[in-house]
């Protein structure tokens, strides 16, 4: 079957649309919620891996039930599989901006009451919480003796000795921690370099709980492992080639579509965030395109021209991948790659009918891009369709251009 590039792009776009529709229907995971009447309800929650704190969630109360929305007024707490835990709290929060040109000149926080879901970072005898919205990050804490309150950190405007506008910092959170945990032998030296950042504060609250001999849960540890996968990736390339001379307009050759076998091995590093949905990858691959054709040409002695293409190379795609989880066994994925290509003993030659050489062009390929969409089953078996943007083959020639286009169908088996 002959595929044009237009057909191929249409197929890929169709698969992407189907993939995103399937993705939109999933992501429900076992969890719980606590209602205003303190009823604990087991349910399935749509895991959005919230980058900002939500004000509502999508839940399914029964296996056959519909997905419904529960807002912050409906629930006091919810959680997913020990990975996420959010608690509703009415807090005093300073929401001062941090842009130098618009920030306040007031050093002290300006509190306002907010009803929000706070996410647990550390849960224990001393707990640490995070609130995040676009352009704003605030940390809160509580102890067994105190309610939830904000750790105060504020940027504000000031003028230096030359009357230049600068940013200064109110790091009151350090004094708060020193006052509340001094009895645990927390000293000024323990907090003097503490930064208003997740890593620093999580480490500090783990230290506090250890000194209290209190058990704690570190929710930031849910996705810290880097995974490395090695996958065998054979497949079929469907390729077309057209070349032309920009000076001699009559010199244009269009070669047949060739279906060829390609052999690759993929190394994938799955990144430890966003629930292992992002990966970087490389896939050294051997590919080839070989074809011949004979054409009549009255301007050539013998009246015939034999054109021969011998193109073989090692491709080295460097790319990123995003996974879309359908369920525990099935995943869709999308790749985008920058493809380096290293040819070996590759050329296009033209010969007369008596086999004497008319012209020989050495193939020196340029880099191009690739996009693929695929399906993976049980972390082992995969199937992918991939489209490559047109690749030039005549990097060393001024007047010769080419259009080498490839569509691939790949199967994969992950060794580990």
Q: Residues near 282 by Cβ (< 8 Å), separated by ≥ 6? A: 266, 267, 316, 317, 318, 319
16 φ/ψ angles, rounded to the nearest 5 degrees: -65, -45
Left (φ > 0), alpha (ψ -120 to 50) or beta: where does 38 sit?
left
- Condensed to tens digits (0 to 9), the pLDDT of residues 91-112 reads 999 998 877 777 888 899 999 9
How far apart are alpha carbons 11 and 5 in whole angstroms?
10
pLDDT for 117-133, tens place per residue? 999 999 999 999 999 99
pLDDT of 406 over the 90 cut: yes
Token pair, residue 161, equals: 């000795």
Question: What are the structure tokens assigned to 61, written together?
Answer: 């109360």
Question: Residue ranges of the domains in the chain?
Answer: 84-221, 224-414
Question: Under a CB-based contact definition with an 8 Å cutoff, are residues 375 and 355 in contact?
Answer: no
Those residues whose C-beta lies under 8 Å from the C-beta of residue 115, and which sit 6 or more positions away, are 72, 88, 89, 90
Report pLDDT for 17: 55
Maximum separation of any 2 CA atoms in the chain, in Å: 101
Selection from 174, 189, 185, 192 nearest residue 208 by Cα = 185
Does domain 224-414 match CATH 2.40.160? yes
Instruction: Output the average pLDDT for the chain.
Output: 88
In 10 A of CB 208, how many CB atoms?
25
CA nearest to 305, candidates 241, 248, 247, 252? 252
Distance of alpha carbon 370 from alpha carbon 235, whole angstroms: 15
Q: Do 306 and 292 touch, CB atoms closer than 8 A?
A: yes
* Of 376, 386, 383, 392, nearest in space to 406 by CA: 386
- Read off the pLDDT of each residue in 194-219 and give the average, rounded to a whole number: 94
Spatial separation of the C-alpha atoms in residues 179 and 135, rounded to whole Å: 29
Q: How far apart are alpha carbons 15 and 26 in whole angstroms?
A: 17
Question: Residues with Cβ < 8 Å from 10, sequence gap 6 or more?
Answer: none
Burial 314-352 (b: 16+ CB within 10 A, else e): ebbbebebebbbbeeeebbbbbebebbbebeebebbbbb
Q: Which residue has the higher pLDDT, 180 or 304?
A: 180
Q: What percent of the chain has pLDDT over 90?
A: 59
Pick the closest to residue 196 from 131, 143, 103 (CA basis). Answer: 131
Strand partners, 354: none
pLDDT digits (tens, 9 = 90+) for 371-391: 999 999 988 999 999 999 999
Query: Looking at the predicted structure, is the pLDDT value of residue 14 above 60?
Result: no
Q: How far apart are CA 289 and CA 24, in angstroms?
A: 39
């Amino acid at each position: 079957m002959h595929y044009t590039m237009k057909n191929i792009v249409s197929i890929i776009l169709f698969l992407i649309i189907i993939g995103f529709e399937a993705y939109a229907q999933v992501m429900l995971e076992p969890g719980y919620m606590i209602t205003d009447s303190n009823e604990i309800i087991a349910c399935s929650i749509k895991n959005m891996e919230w980058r900002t704190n939500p004000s509502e969630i999508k839940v399914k109360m029964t296996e056959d039930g519909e997905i419904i929305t529960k807002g912050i007024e409906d629930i006091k707490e919810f959680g997913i599989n020990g990975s996420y835990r959010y608690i509703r709290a009415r807090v005093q929060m300073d929401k001062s901006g941090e842009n130098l040109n618009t920030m306040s000149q007031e050093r002290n926080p300006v509190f306002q009451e907010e009803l929000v879901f706070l996410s647990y970072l550390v849960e224990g005898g001393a707990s640490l919480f995070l609130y995040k919205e676009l352009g704003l990050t605030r940390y809160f804490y509580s102890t067994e003796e105190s309610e939830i309150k904000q750790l105060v950190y504020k940027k504000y405007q000031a003028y230096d000795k030359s009357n230049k506008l600068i940013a200064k910092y109110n790091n009151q959170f350090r004094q708060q921690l020193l006052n509340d945990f001094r009895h645990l032998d927390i000293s000024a030296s323990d907090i003097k370099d503490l930064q208003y950042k997740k890593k620093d504060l999580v480490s500090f609250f783990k230290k506090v709980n250890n000194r209290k001999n209190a058990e704690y849960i570190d929710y930031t540890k849910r996705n810290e492992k880097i995974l490395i996968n090695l996958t065998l990736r054979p497949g079929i390339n469907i390729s077309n080639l057209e070349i032309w001379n920009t000076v001699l307009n009559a010199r244009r050759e269009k070669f047949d579509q060739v279906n060829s076998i390609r052999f690759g091995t993929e190394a994938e590093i799955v990144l430890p965030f966003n629930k292992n949905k992002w990966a970087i990858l490389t896939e050294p691959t051997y590919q080839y395109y070989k074809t011949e054709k004979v054409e009549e040409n009255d301007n050539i002695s013998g009246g015939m021209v034999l054109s021969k293409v011998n193109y073989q190379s090692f491709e080295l795609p460097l790319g990123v991948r995003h996974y879309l989880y359908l369920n525990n066994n099935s995943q869709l994925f999308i790749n985008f790659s920058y493809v380096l290509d290293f040819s070996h003993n590759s050329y296009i030659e033209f010969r007369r009918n008596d086999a004497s050489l008319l012209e020989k062009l050495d193939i020196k390929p340029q880099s191009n891009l690739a996009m693929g969409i695929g399906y993976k089953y049980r972390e082992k078996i995969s199937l992918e369709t991939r489209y490559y943007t047109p690749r030039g083959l005549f990097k060393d020639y001024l007047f010769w251009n080419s259009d080498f286009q490839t569509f691939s169908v790949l199967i994969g088996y992950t060794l580990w």
